[in-house]
Structure 1
Amino acid sequence: MPTVDRVRTTHTSSDPDTPLWRASQAFRLITLVYAISYQAATVDNYVNPRLSWVLVALMAVWSGASALVLSRATLPRWQVVLADQVIVIALMASTRLVADYDWYSTRQTLPTTLWATNAVISAAILWGPRGGIASGVVMSVVSALVRDRFDLDLWSDATAPVLLSAGLALGLASNTARRSHEELRRAARSAAITEERERLARQVHDGVLQVLALVRRRGLEIGGPAAELAELAGEQEVALRVLISEQAVPRSEHPGSIVDVRALLNTQASTAVSVSTPADPVLVESHVARELAAVVATALSNVELHAGAEARAYVLLEDVDGELIVSIRDDGQGIPAGRLAAAEAEGRMGVSKSILGRVESLGGTAILDTNEGDGTEWEIRVPRAGGPA
């Protein structure tokens, strides 16, 4: 199926984290500008200003290199993120090489807190909230060790809250992006599969089903041995129509997936069957949709086999107050009194099992209205939840 393959290639080749990586690296470069301006403003207070500029130059080189690699994924990102943690910690520790105790104990480290946050953000995007919080804790502890400042005065030193908040927020954003991407990929693939199956169903309907219907009608008109052929053609037409309706629902890996029941019912339309459904999607759990479609297929099968060669059937789907109502009516010969009981006694379970049994399993009701010579009408009511009442 070319359509399905195209969708699979398009969605699996993209990285849901790419926008986050690019935004975070833009933030890295912005924080580098702030760190350089802070360096220019404070360098006169350092005991080793020349070394401090060398370290700031290394900071700038690493900022550009890591931004390029992480945004484009030219190397395994986990390696770059681990290197990011080590380099940031080393630069924070180097503060003691360029400043005295009175300076570094009361101010930011050489790489500012804002710039050091980039390591936390990278860990959060790659490993989620746990990785982000873990990196934030490590950076907070290193900052406290370097500045010899362990206290709970968050008003005067907000390093830990800033780092932990950034790790948590970006980690949650990364997880959300991945989940959304996966849901979009599954939805696109499901839509492509459904579209392809509907296309095949239309081709089968325009070809095989119409030929089988023609064979059935002409065989019944000719009579004699041709009537047996007509009956076989009618049975195969119904069986093929049921198969198409079942295939209209993608087999989801997740139980309880939601599908549009209209797709299953519309595949059962033919020259002798009219199907009317609401304009808006009627979304129910997949097992409810399949069972409801099987009920309709069985009822239409009985119309094909017993209502007469010229009989037409009409299917109406309604969605009313959390309840699905399906009406299946035909203008055929109707069912003689006692015929259903006799059929069940003979072991023919089309009505008792395929219709009544399925509807009961869904927690619904099925009402049959028929008179000999006046056609039949089924009214099927099924709750959306699809469970026993």
Structure 2
Amino acid sequence: MTDALTPLWRASQVFRFVTLLYAVSYQIGSMSSYSNPRLSWFFVALMAVWTGISAALLSEKRIPLWKVVFADQLVVIGLMASTRLVADPQWYSTHQTLPTTLWATNAVISAAILFGPRGGIASAIMLAAVSALVRDQVNFDLWTDATAPVLVSVGLALGLASNTAKRAHSELERAIRLAAITEERERLARQVHDGVLQVLALVRRRGNEIGGAAGELADLAGEQEVALRMLISEQRNPSRIDTGDAKVDLGSLLRQQGSTTVSISAPTDPVLVHKPVADELAAVLSTALSNVTLHAGSGARAYVLLEDVAGDIIVSIRDDGIGIAAGRLAEAEAEGRMGVSESILGRVEMLGGTAVLDSDVGTGTEWEIRVPKEQK
């Protein structure tokens, strides 16, 4: 794919040659008014040579463009100053400088394309000031001359066009990248569906038919089938794809931990948070669900709710297990078992949030994790 600014550079070089023709015609019409017409033709020749050189350098981009644009400013300033060498004060104070305002606009255009509106306006103000100094027109009537308004307008317009082209090109690249990612993930999803999911479904069905130890294998296969189907569903959703932005969808990340014994509810719209925050909250959930598996008792189910409320992210993790006796967490920490204190409380505190545990024997366990959506 070509660079976003390539069409603007090409158009600017065409404009550069057109303005050269105008400058030569202006030279022919004004030559009789010059005090040194031969020297004036020398400067016009320099103008023509630089027009060709700059056009080639800006098109081929063999050297950094900023160097060419900087040189463009110097050449225009030098040619403007040369007006005093070929004309009398009475003439140049009431006429355009030697390279003509139209040809000098090329330097403003180049700066605007490369640096945006700020660069274009800065170049325009500089060249307008040089023109006023060369022509001894630095006074309160400066803006009655068309030079400054024309140059500033061109710098602003081309700078805005340059920024728009860059944004449009960036969006097009993102769309192409997203389409390629989606297509690849669709292909992988079909392969997984045709292979792994069918095998898991067969194992689950036959295991339940056989019973006994095979029934346990069937339950495990069923859990993996549900988790894999959920993962494929998430990957197929284009709004969930991480395209390199600073934020990811927390809901998509948490749903990947769902299973036949874990129900996860999240908003339909993406809950976008910075990736490090999302990773830490996913790790908190993983630890909490592991504790449910290890300590909540056989057959316990877990329910996870994700909410985006008033600038805070709330993750509620509840199970219907046997619960935790009062003081048991403190005893576990004293015994060196740091799962809750480090993996849950430590992570939440690092994110500037709070983790509240509500549990008792026979009532199950519930965690409410609350962290700021925007980290400082």
State the TM bucket, normalised to the shorter chain.
Answer: 0.5 to 0.7
Q: In structure 2, what is the equivalent of residue 301 of structure 1?
A: 290
Write out aligned runs for 1:1-389 (5 A): 15=3, 17-18=5-6, 20-29=8-17, 31-32=19-20, 35=23, 38=26, 45=33, 59=47, 62-63=50-51, 66-78=54-66, 80-96=68-84, 99-123=87-111, 125-126=113-114, 139-140=127-128, 142-144=130-132, 146-157=134-145, 159=147, 163=151, 257-331=246-320, 333-335=321-323, 337-338=325-326, 340-341=328-329, 342-362=331-351, 363-369=353-359, 371-372=361-362, 375-385=364-374
Is 2:318–2:366's contact at 8 Å kept on the other side of the alignment? yes
Rounded Cα–Cα distance in structure 2 between residues aligned with 1:20 and 1:301? 58
How far 1:286 sits from its partner (Å)?
Answer: 3.2
Describe the SS at the equivalent of 2:142. Answer: coil
Is 1:249–1:290's contact at 8 Å kept on the other side of the alignment? no
So what's the TM-score if we normalise by structure 2? 0.65
How far 1:153 sits from its partner (Å)?
Answer: 3.1
Rounded Cα–Cα distance in structure 2 between residues aligned with 1:386 and 1:74? 43
Describe the SS at the equivalent of 1:353. Answer: helix
**Structure 1 counterpart of 2:90, one-letter code:** D
How far 1:279 sits from its partner (Å)?
Answer: 1.6
1:121-154, Cα deviation, whole Å (9 max, x unpaired): 3245556788767755664465345434444531
| Structure 2 unmatched ranges of 5 or more | 232-239
In structure 2, the CA distance between the partners of 1:191 and 1:378, relative to structure 1 (3 Å rule), is farther
Is 1:249–1:264's contact at 8 Å kept on the other side of the alignment? no
Rounded Cα–Cα distance in structure 2 between residues aligned with 1:191 and 1:357? 39
Percent sequence identity over aligned pairs: 64
**Structure 2 counterpart of 1:104, one-letter code:** Y
Rounded Cα–Cα distance in structure 1 between residues aligned with 2:192 and 2:335? 34
Describe the SS at the equivalent of 2:143. Answer: coil
How far 1:292 sits from its partner (Å)?
Answer: 1.6
Is 1:370–1:377's contact at 8 Å kept on the other side of the alignment? no
Is 2:325–2:359's contact at 8 Å kept on the other side of the alignment? no
Rounded Cα–Cα distance in structure 2 between residues aligned with 1:382 and 1:195? 35
How far 1:106 sits from its partner (Å)?
Answer: 0.9
Rounded Cα–Cα distance in structure 2 between residues aligned with 1:340 and 1:365? 17
**Structure 2 counterpart of 1:355, one-letter code:** I
Q: In structure 2, what is the equivalent of residue 5 of structure 1?
A: none
Describe the SS at the equivalent of 2:328. Answer: helix
Is 2:109–2:158's contact at 8 Å kept on the other side of the alignment? yes
Describe the SS at the equivalent of 1:356. Answer: helix
Q: In structure 2, what is the equivalent of residue 6 of structure 1?
A: none
1:20-67, Cα deviation, whole Å (9 max, x unpaired): 534543553554465466557656655677886786576456445533
Choose 296-305 or 260-269, whichever is displaced more.
260-269
Is 2:132–2:142's contact at 8 Å kept on the other side of the alignment? no
**Structure 1 counterpart of 2:100, one-letter code:** T
RMSD: 5.5
| Structure 1 unmatched ranges of 5 or more | 1-9, 228-232
In structure 2, the CA distance between the partners of 1:262 and 1:175, relative to structure 1 (3 Å rule), is same
